[in-house]
A and B are shown apart, each in its own frame.
Chain A
Amino acid sequence: MRKDIIAVFLIVLIVAVLIGGTDIQSVDEYYLTHIDDITPDSETVTLSIRCDTILDNYDDLDPTLRSEEFVPKDGVILPPTEYVLRHGDTAFDILDRATRHNKIQMEYQGEDRTGYGSVYIKGINNLYEYSCGPLSGWIYRVDGEIRNIGCSKDTLRDGQTVEFIYTCDLGRDIGNSTVTEGSDMP
């Protein structure tokens, strides 16, 4: 009879393990695969990507881009989404991770080549600088304020909201005129 009890216990145990999941990972692996999971302790930021200014300037848009594939009907390329803020993350890191994870096209110029010591965002979702007139391109805001420093120099803090917004008028169409004009030597 004792054998039976042990056997029943074994079965219950195995079934419990099977139901409970058999994820067996080392600590490193666990950390690696769960790094972007949001937990109550996570520091996070919220990111969104928009191009609604193009909707008001559709005539200036490069004809090859006049499609919902590039300019969504509501101008929203990525709705506000919460991302885990890893230590030292910049606005660029979050953008890079978000566009990769969501398979949104993004092209940038590396830090060493711009001369500003920061990366320069050339295009997102195939919308590039000058795609919608000579004053168009990508700018970004942190907590509602347009930032004039490069996004890879801009270290974020817990709870901040980052918006990458397409402007057709050097930021003036977003209600801000403090964007320095791109009138430097090319």
Chain B
Amino acid sequence: MSGMGKRSFCLLICLIIVVGASAFPASAYSYDDPMTISSGIVAWKKATLGIDPGDLLINADYSELAGSSSGDWYTIALSRLGANESYGTYLSALKAFVESLYAQPDGLGKVKATDLHRISLAILAAGGDPLSEVKNISGDSADLIADGVYDRGRVSPLGQQGINGWIWGLIALDSMRYAVPEGAFYTRDDIIVGIISRQLADGGFALGGSISDPDITAMAIQALAPYYNSEKSYTYTSDVTGKQITATVRSVIDTAVSRLSELQLGTGDFGNYGGGSSESTSQALIALCCLGIDPFTDERFIKNGNTVFDGLMRYRNSDGGFAHSVTDIDDGSGVRAGESNSVSGRQALCAMAALYRQAEGLRTLYDFRPEHSRAMRARLASLEDGIKGIGADTDNAELEGLLSAFYSLPEGERSYVRGYAALSDAARARGIDIKKIEDDTDIIEDEGGTAGGETKYEFTDSDRAALNALPERLTTAHYTEVLILLGKIELCDDFDGREEYLRRLTSAKSDIEAIQSEIDDINDEVKEKLYPFENLSLKDRKTVNSIAERYYALSEYDRTKVYRSEDILKAKAKLDGELRSVIVGAFLTIAAAAVVFFLGRGIYMRCHKKERELTELAEKDVEKDK
């Protein structure tokens, strides 16, 4: 934070002049606060997860959330804040998670497009590459930007889940300003039109209906922001009115920004249905930062002296976290809207990251390209200075010079020229042919780009200890740890014993994967074979016993991963009982038969005894008579 003061001061001054707003910031807060507030959110988050305040948030346990909203956003925000965390750990887990998605029977079909977009950002944040980090089932590199964005339409429309799919698709596509190849399902313009064609009559955007929603309006602005300085006109059919419209992205954003300003509440925050929410406010703050608007000074976003930042701070609790709502409503469920929660926290953390980056002159929140070189910063600053000086006495040659400077910038950097719209308007007013200047100007590439080197890793003693501490009998609980160690060792140069470690970890990985697939299999079998209970009969005894045997063969930990395992015990108890009944029944039947037999024989014998006695008597008489 030491070097931040001066730079942010300069930036603040620039912004004040650019937007021509009041020179006296109305807010009680400043650009110095995002770091403090971020630390508070992280401290709160660690407390809820039982992590020691001195330890990292992103550890092996946390990494089990890799690929979910609850895990990814904290990782993205922390990385964009430049926080020191164990990103490699997270990346290993993320990679395994995405590979499991690719391995599903219907591939990525049932995975939401926006999940893939968020995951792409998380991979970048964790230091990976969405184009090659993950392998698909055939072992080839999977391209998440292709599969999640420009070729997503081959599986299901990008807009299947509504405007969200287009918005986050564009954000993911522009995270590294990825090019869309020839023959892709969607062109970049298709995706841009996917958003702008859904602009509502009131200027904003929404998931559905005709009334704009502050969150979606803010997110649409975030996605479109890289095109704010583009002069390109789009002709498209409005999804709302069905009419044909020709517009630049700038004009779309301008009306959306006006609408967003209208939606701001008197307390500085934003929300739906009249009530404010921290999430809407966080999104608005991110949107302003994506456009380079200074939330502390731009009068469009100060209401009754309250800035968006002031608005967001209303939701900050004493525990450092953020709440959904200012009023602490208890709806009887035990969930209180005024308590700090993970969703509010992660969005506020993203907003703080956006603000911090604005203050530091870093790239915007979702622009993951290497930072500007010194030379590029100087070019941008001098162009902005020139634009600020535009007035009635500026001659045409000067405007044309500024336009040439603008068009000499690589296309992807033009969005960083703040105030370009003023130059464009002035040139247009004088009848200057902007298109001609664009065509006549050669692009001067940025020479001083920061080249990212290969990351290398040294296998430490504690890594060795962790590896040796792995038990003989592995369970799925060790999976993340094994993946992390494997990820580390793959980054290591050869050392004595590396081969052996690599072999042990690889076999540990496949052993655990085998256990996992056994668990999955048991879960499927249970669902398939055990229900409904009433229909289970002795015929099913073999199946049930085999499921039970397989269940007991698992370690105690892995047994907890079998869903509703009590049903296995229940089915077994039922059938064991039935078998016992049959055996006892058979035994009793035999016993009854035996008793009947002996009883019958007894009676028979008794009856015949008399007969025999008489016969014997008669025989004796005969003998006597002789």
Contact = CB atoms under 8 A, between A and B. Distances in A.
A65 interface: no
Interface residues of A, number: 54
A184 B570 contact: no
Interface string B493-521: 00000000000000000000000000000
Contacts of B570: 32-33, 35
Interface string B151-185: 00000000111111000100000000000000000
A166 B65 CA distance: 28
B184 to A, nearest CB: 22
4 nearest A-B pairs in the assembled complex, by CB-CB distance: A134-B162, A115-B70, A186-B114, A113-B68
Contacts of B566: 32
B569 A185 contact: no
A140 to B, nearest CB: 13
Interface of A: 3-4, 7-8, 10-11, 14-15, 17-18, 21-25, 29, 32-33, 35-36, 96-97, 100-103, 107, 109, 112-117, 123, 128-130, 134-135, 147-149, 153-154, 169-170, 180-186
B248 to A, nearest CB: 26
Interface of B: 64-65, 67-71, 73, 110, 112, 114-115, 117-118, 159-164, 168, 206-208, 213, 215-216, 219, 272, 279, 283, 331, 333-335, 341-343, 346-347, 350, 527, 531-533, 564, 566-567, 569-570, 573-574, 576-577, 580-581, 584-585, 588-589, 591-592, 595-596, 598-599, 602-603
Nearest to B114: A186
B90 to A, nearest CB: 14
A97 B530 CA distance: 12
Contacts of A35: 570
A3 B602 contact: yes
A153 B532 contact: no
B32 to A, nearest CB: 26
The interface residues of chain A, by DSSP majority, are classed as: loop
Contacts of A184: 215, 279, 343, 347
A109 B588 CA distance: 52
17 contacts: A8-B599, A11-B595, A11-B596, A24-B584, A32-B569, A33-B573, A97-B564, A101-B533, A103-B531, A109-B68, A113-B68, A117-B342, A130-B160, A149-B335, A154-B333, A183-B216, A183-B219
B592 A134 contact: no
A110 to B, nearest CB: 9
B335 A113 contact: no
Nearest to B334: A153
Contacts of A4: 599, 602-603
Contacts of B592: 10-11, 14-15, 18
B437 to A, nearest CB: 39
Say whether chain B's binding surface is mostly helix, strand, loop, or mixed: helix
Contacts of B591: 14
Residue from B160, B208, B567, B580 whose CB has the most chain A CB atoms within 10 Å: B208
Given A101-B532, A182-B207, A10 B334 contact: no
Contacts of B206: 183
A119 to B, nearest CB: 12
A47 to B, nearest CB: 15
Contacts of B567: 100
Nearest to A96: B564
Given A23-B581, A36-B533, A134-B164, 14 more contacts: A3-B602, A10-B592, A22-B581, A32-B573, A101-B533, A103-B532, A109-B68, A112-B70, A114-B69, A134-B163, A183-B207, A184-B343, A184-B347, A186-B118
Contacts of B216: 183
A185 B347 contact: yes
Given A33-B570, A149-B333, A181 B213 contact: yes
A147 B332 CA distance: 11
Contact of B531 (A102, A123, A180): A102
Nearest to B534: A101
Contacts of B65: 112-113
Contacts of A149: 331, 333, 335
Nearest to B115: A186
Nearest to B588: A14
Interface centre among A102, A103, A123 (most CB of B within 10 A): A103
Contact of A113 (B70, B341, B585): B70
Contacts of B577: 23-25, 29, 33
A133 to B, nearest CB: 8
A3 B567 CA distance: 49
A23 B580 CA distance: 8
Contact of B159 (A117, A134, A170): A134
A129 B532 CA distance: 27
